[in-house]
């Protein structure tokens, strides 16, 4: 009852629209109404919901995060990805989306974005749907 969505990223920091595969996973559960949780099991990536129409929105989000949390800033964690961990906690490890009639209930402009902060890498995302009433 938990689906896994694979994500392949191409840059160190990148937001990738995964709305399609998440909807696919929801459809396969057969659940009509409930909650969908999209969960990232990594500590140097995150997940968020934002506008998908203009790619500049994602570019702006990434640029601002890079400005507030630069890759090099005297961190104690010596693996070169301390900033990635911090960005991960700022965006969060999961999003929760309502499901009705088997469809994600997203706003007109909303898409689900996997946020890569230490790529490029092969990543995965878990999708689980819990029915509203058993």
Alpha carbon 20 to its chain's center = 13
Can you tell me which of 17, 19, 27, 49 binds a copy of itself, judged by CB under 8 A? 49
Considering only residues 71 to 110 of the shown chain, the ones binding a copy of itself according to CB under 8 A are 73, 75-79, 82, 85-86, 88-98, 100, 105-110
* Residue 55 dihedral angles phi and psi, to the nearest 5°: -60, -20
| CB neighbour list of residue 58: distance below 8 Å, 6 or more residues apart | 15, 50, 113
Could you list the beta-strand ranges (E) of 23-87: 34-39, 45-51
Name the residues that contact a copy of itself, by CB under 8 A: 1-2, 33-35, 37, 39-43, 48-51, 54, 56-57, 59-61, 63-64, 68-69, 73, 75-79, 82, 85-86, 88-98, 100, 105-110, 126, 128-134
């Amino acid at each position: 009852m938990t689906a896994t969505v694979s994500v392949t990223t191409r840059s160190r920091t990148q937001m990738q629209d995964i709305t399609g595969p998440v909807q696919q996973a929801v459809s396969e559960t057969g659940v009509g109404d409930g909650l969908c949780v999209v969960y990232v099991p990594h500590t140097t990536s995150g997940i968020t919901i934002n506008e998908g129409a203009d790619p500049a929105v994602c570019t702006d989000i990434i640029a601002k995060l890079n400005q507030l949390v630069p890759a090099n800033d005297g961190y104690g964690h010596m693996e070169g990805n301390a900033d990635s961990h911090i960005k991960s906690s700022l965006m969060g490890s999961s999003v929760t989306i309502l499901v009705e009639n088997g469809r994600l209930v997203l706003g007109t402009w909303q898409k689900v974005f996997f946020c890569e902060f230490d790529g490029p890498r092969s990543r995965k995302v878990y999708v689980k749907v819990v029915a509203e009433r058993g």
